[in-house]
């Protein structure tokens, strides 16, 4: 190309680019013609409707070519769910594969539907409304024409004023999405989102929202994995997707309980996996343990500090040249790492390692994971059939193609080989990261080898290796290698230095509608979107499901190692339905108060909306330097994450809980409470696994008529009964907590909260403490132990129970307890306990499955029952109809707590009553 021609082309390209930006800034989409409906047909039962849709006027072709003819399918799948699907009957368009997202089965019962689909034919519009009240829940309306083009789909609905919209993650916006001002734009396109910045697209994609009104709560789910912007403003919500089809599930929810819509979404996305009991213990990790001695000393120091450590994790530091399925022979030699794993297992503790998807591209080296994958042909391909290359921690990499017919054999084989109990590292769970998939290569990325050299990938070791024969786990070993006193990193910390944060604008073909991807181009910092899978699907369409497909493959690989053992897998990137296989951590946050606070909304989104309940943030923060105060506060808050892990960056100061006095106290106090409540939490997870009932709830789920609860995202319910109200301001010992108009009891004193229905300032909340209340109407199954918290969950399971009854204003309370062996896919035994209290009578109904062969955990007793708020001393107390002798019960006039010793096996039913 000549110089003048090149200049003319650049001018033309700039004009096109500027014109595209101008169109994106202010598109006149509402003037597009929309469609008319013809040939409308319904079945005799009125449960299905089909129609042909044709353009209602001249095509606007605003971001491409309008599709002239469409097909509409409407199915009333259940009494609370309507499925609306609009496709192109002429051209086969991409849809999320059934193998990735199994479709829910239609099972419409004999009763009428709770929601209704109505439509107009010219122009075609549709409305979803409550069948009885006719309240409109979703409507395209005549002012919002549907646009259906090759690479642009648009649907817009009206919203009521000040709408309460939740979901559409993953993001770090407030839990209730802002609608005023410029509203909120949610972009769904997986990216390596270092620092989880607010207002940008992050690691995962969940195109579902719940809308809450005083008249009820409903849900809308768009099953589409293409990139999209969803714009929520005052009065409207608008989808703008760059591919796929329109595939909506409308959920009626309930007029009384928001929890119902969460359960209905679980029926669509799938119920979440039941995690192992030990997964609720404390996990410790950091990116930056330099060698095997560091890892061993952290384990020893936790033990010496008396802080229960359940699971030790190791980040990519252990790898040889940052290559997955390897250990560095000098820094993390296999025999010494196996010694660490053996020590953990001998002490009833667990071990987890990081596994990334990207495999080092080493055609000229003897690196088995690459050569075996190359031989099987399982790498993602370029359009010309060569392996698609990226740039990740080991340097130039290839990416597994999760659609390849041999990929599961390959992935399971690598897990069985490297994580072999006999010859490798016998992990107990899996941690998968960088699975957006991430790449550090700056576009156009024509020479990844050169960029690998420029970015020093893999990063060189900066410290000498330890001697290979350092003694570890002796009584004085850690003492002789004292941990350092925390100080500010002398080199400082600049997130711009991280390769994962080096962003460049796109120079590789974008669609004309450019979603608001914070990384710029769709191919920026990820696998090229024109990469091709074995089934001819492209990353343009499947990018957002890459992480979830890795999750499924990893769960299968873990089960291939231990077919009967329930795996704990934690991932970074998720799509709708990911909770069926994995848990999730909230990514690379910062050690600051904003991220501490934002973690609550993020956790609520995954646990209470997206059906990924095993969720938590990096406690004390990942990047930057934490402080003693922040880490102590975060430790107490983190005890109420379902997934509790302390984790930070290699460029940050150390932050294990034993590093400061306040964090040590905070961890001990918080874990004491958490361990007493673990069975309560495990029961809540089991309930979500069975029914979709969230184990965490925003306050409005339990108080749907109280408008004060609608925006609250700094308080939440842990399980159905514990209200958590953390201190959220630096330097403060006070909490301004909203206490709904109901009966509540303070956790520390078990006495009634005297004032409710307002925001109350609670003072003197120490830095190692957290404000908790028990909701009236609850029966809590709590473990009993002395001031020394059990050091492992295995030990915890030997401790007896007490049932704490917190009656409501009607003197009633209920609770449940679920026990099984805590680790098997199909436990040989289980115990379901129903706890019902009313007017001085507790009925405990235990249903034991599996006979008398209960394992550890089913052989413990219920030692006592505590009843709160008993205003008068009882005259007589009966246990199973027999009078309890005075030395077996007590009542405190000041605290109004009645304690009755019962001594019954947890698997046996019994009854306590008093008068």
Query: Per the residue annotation, which of 66, 433, 656, 820 is the catalytic one?
Result: 433
Residue 606 DSSP symbol:
I
Q: What are phi and psi of 477, to 5 degrees?
A: -65, -55
Rounded CA-CA distance 901/540 in Å is 64
What one-character-per-residue DSSP string does 343-412 give?
HHHHTT-EEEEEE-S-EE--TTS--HHHHHHHHHT-B-B-TTSSBPEEEETTEEEE-B-TTSTTHHHHHH
Query: Per the residue annotation, which of 66, 588, 618, 768 is the catalytic one?
Result: 588
- 433 catalytic? Reply is yes
Rounded CA-CA distance 870/750 in Å is 11
Task: Give the residue among 720, 591, 576 at the shortest CA–CA distance from 100.
Answer: 576
Q: Tell me the two tokens of residue 306.
A: 């008396």
Task: Give the residue among 445, 447, 457, 433 at the shortest CA–CA distance from 521.
Answer: 445
Give the pairing of strands 830-838 and 282-284. Answer: unpaired
Which runs of E-coded beta strand occur in 726-800?
A: 735-739, 744-746, 758-762, 771-775, 778-783
Report the DSSP beta bridge partners of residue 66: 149
Rounded CA-CA distance 510/523 in Å is 9
Rounded CA-CA distance 524/511 in Å is 14
Q: Tell me the two tokens of residue 495.
A: 């997130």
What one-character-per-residue DSSP string does 136-202 give?
EEEE-TTTS--EEETTEEEEEEE--TT-EEEEEES--S-SBPP-STT-EEEEE-----TT--TTS--
Task: Give the residue among 98, 99, 139, 104 at the shortest CA–CA distance from 118.
Answer: 139
Which runs of E-coded beta strand occur in 79-151?
A: 81-87, 115-121, 124-130, 136-139, 147-149
Element at 228 (helix H, strand E): strand 228-233
Query: Per the residue annotation, which of 436, 656, 768, 823 is the catalytic one?
Result: 436
Element at 619 (helix H, strand E): strand 618-619
Q: What are phi and psi of 20, to 5 degrees?
A: -65, -45
Element at 578 (helix H, strand E): none
Residue 906 DSSP symbol:
T
Rounded CA-CA distance 141/159 in Å is 11
Task: Give the residue among 643, 528, 543 at the shortest CA–CA distance from 281.
Answer: 643
Give the pairing of strands 48-55 and 184-188. Answer: unpaired
Residue 886 DSSP symbol:
G
State whether residue 429 is helix, strand or coil. Answer: strand
Neighbours of 56 (CB within 10 A): 17
State whether residue 775 is helix, strand or coil. Answer: strand
The answer to whether residues 616 and 280 touch, using CB atoms and an 8 Å cutoff, is: no
Q: Tell me the two tokens of residue 221.
A: 């789910």
- 73 catalytic? Reply is no
The answer to whether residues 164 and 712 touch, using CB atoms and an 8 Å cutoff, is: no
Active site amino acids = 433, 436, 588
């Amino acid at each position: 190309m000549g110089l003048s021609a090149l200049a003319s082309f650049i001018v033309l390209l700039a004009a096109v680019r500027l014109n595209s930006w101008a169109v994106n800034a202010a598109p006149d989409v509402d003037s597009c013609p929309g469609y008319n409906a013809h040939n409308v047909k319904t079945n005799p039962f009125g449960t299905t409707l089909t129609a042909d849709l044709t353009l209602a006027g001249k095509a606007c072709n605003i971001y491409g070519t309008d599709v002239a003819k469409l097909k509409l399918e409407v199915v009333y799948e259940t009494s609370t769910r309507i499925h609306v699907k609009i496709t192109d009957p002429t051209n086969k368009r991409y849809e999320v594969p059934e193998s990735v997202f199994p479709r829910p089965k239609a099972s419409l019962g004999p009763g009428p539907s709770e929601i209704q689909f109505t439509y107009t034919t010219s122009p075609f519009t549709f409305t979803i409304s409550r069948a009885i009240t006719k309240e409109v829940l979703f409507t395209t309306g005549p002012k919002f024409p549907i646009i259906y083009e090759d690479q642009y789909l648009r649907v817009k609905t009206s919203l009521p004023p000040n709408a309460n919209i939740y979901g559409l993650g993953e993001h770090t916006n407030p839990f209730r999405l802002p609608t005023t001002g410029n509203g909120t734009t949610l972009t769904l396109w997986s990216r390596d989102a270092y620092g989880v910045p607010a207002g940008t697209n992050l690691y995962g994609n969940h195109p579902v929202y719940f809308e809450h009104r005083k008249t009820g709560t409903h849900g809308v789910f768009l099953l589409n994995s293409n990139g999209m912007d969803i714009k929520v403003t005052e009065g409207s919500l608008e989808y703008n997707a760059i591919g796929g089809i329109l595939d909506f599930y409308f959920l009626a929810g309930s007029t009384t309980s928001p929890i119902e819509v969460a359960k209905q979404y679980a029926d669509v996305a799938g119920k979440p996996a039941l995690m192992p009991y030990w997964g609720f213990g404390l996990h410790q990790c950091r990116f930056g343990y330099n060698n095997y001695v560091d890892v061993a000393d952290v384990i020893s120091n936790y033990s010496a500090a008396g802080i229960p450590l359940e699971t030790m994790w190791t980040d990519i530091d252990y790898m040889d040249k940052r290559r997955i399925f390897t250990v560095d022979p000098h820094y993390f030699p296999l025999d010494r790492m196996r010694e660490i794993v053996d020590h953990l297992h001998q002490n009833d503790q667990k071990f987890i390692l990081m596994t990334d998807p990207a495999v080092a591209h080493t055609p000229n080296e003897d690196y088995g994971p690459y050569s075996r994958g190359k031989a099987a042909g399982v790498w993602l391909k370029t359009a010309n059939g060569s392996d698609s290359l990226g740039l990740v921690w080991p340097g130039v990499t290839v990416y597994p193609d999760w659609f390849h017919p041999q990929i599961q054999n390959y992935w399971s084989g690598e897990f069985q080989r490297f994580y072999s109990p006999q010859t490798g590292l016998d992990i107990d769970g899996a941690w998968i990261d960088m699975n957006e998939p991430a790449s550090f290569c700056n576009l156009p990325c024509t020479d990844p080898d050169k960029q690998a050299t420029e970015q020093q990938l893999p990063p060189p070791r900066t410290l000498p290796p330890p001697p290979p024969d350092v003694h570890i786990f002796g009584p004085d070993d850690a003492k002789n290698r004292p941990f350092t006193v925390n100080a500010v990193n002398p080199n400082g910390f600049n997130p711009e230095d991280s390769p994962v944060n080096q962003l460049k604008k796109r120079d590789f073909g974008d669609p004309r509608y450019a979603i608001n991807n914070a990384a710029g181009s769709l191919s920026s910092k990820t696998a090229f979107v024109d990469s091709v899978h074995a089934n001819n699907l492209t990353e343009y369409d499947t990018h957002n499901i890459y992480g979830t497909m890795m999750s499924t493959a990893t769960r299968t690989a873990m089960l291939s190692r231990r077919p009967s053992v329930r795996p704990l897998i934690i991932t970074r990137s998720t799509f709708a339905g990911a909770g069926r296989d994995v848990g999730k951590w909230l990514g690379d946050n910062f050690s600051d108060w904003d991220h501490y606070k934002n973690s609550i909304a993020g956790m609520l989104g995954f646990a209470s909306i997206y059906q990924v309940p095993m969720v938590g943030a990096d406690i004390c923060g990942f990047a930057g330097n934490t402080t003693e105060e922040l880490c102590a506060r975060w430790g107490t808050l983190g005890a109420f994450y379902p997934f509790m892990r302390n984790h930070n960056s290699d460029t940050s100061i150390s932050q294990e809980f034993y590093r400061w006095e306040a964090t040590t106290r905070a961890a001990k106090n918080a874990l004491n409470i958490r361990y007493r409540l673990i069975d309560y939490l495990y029961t809540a997870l089991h309930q979500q696994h069975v029914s979709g009932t969230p184990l965490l709830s925003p306050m409005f789920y339990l108080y749907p008529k109280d408008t004060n609860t609608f925006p609250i995202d700094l308080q939440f319910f842990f399980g159905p009964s514990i209200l958590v109200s953390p201190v959220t301001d630096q330097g403060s010992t006070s909490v301004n907590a909203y206490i709904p108009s109901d009966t509540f009891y303070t956790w520390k004193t078990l006495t009634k909260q005297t004032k409710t229905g307002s925001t109350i300032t609670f003072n003197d909340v120490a830095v190692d403490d957290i404000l908790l209340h028990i909701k009236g109407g609850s029966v809590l199954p709590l473990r009993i132990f002395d001031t020394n918290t059990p050091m492992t969950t295995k030990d915890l399971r030997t401790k007896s129970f007490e049932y704490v009854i917190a009656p409501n204003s009607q003197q009633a309370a209920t609770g449940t307890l679920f026990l099984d062996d805590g680790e098997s896919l199909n436990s040989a035994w289980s115990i379901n306990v129903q706890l019902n209290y009313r007017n001085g009578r507790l009925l405990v109904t235990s249903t034991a499955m599996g006979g008398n062969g209960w394992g550890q955990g089913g052989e413990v007793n219920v030692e006592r029952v505590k009843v709160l708020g008993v205003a008068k001393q009882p005259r007589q107390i009966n246990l199973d109809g027999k009078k309890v002798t005075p030395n077996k019960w007590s009542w405190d006039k000041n605290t109004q707590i009645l304690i009755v010793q019962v001594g019954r096996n947890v698997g046996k039913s019994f009854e306590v009553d008093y008068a």
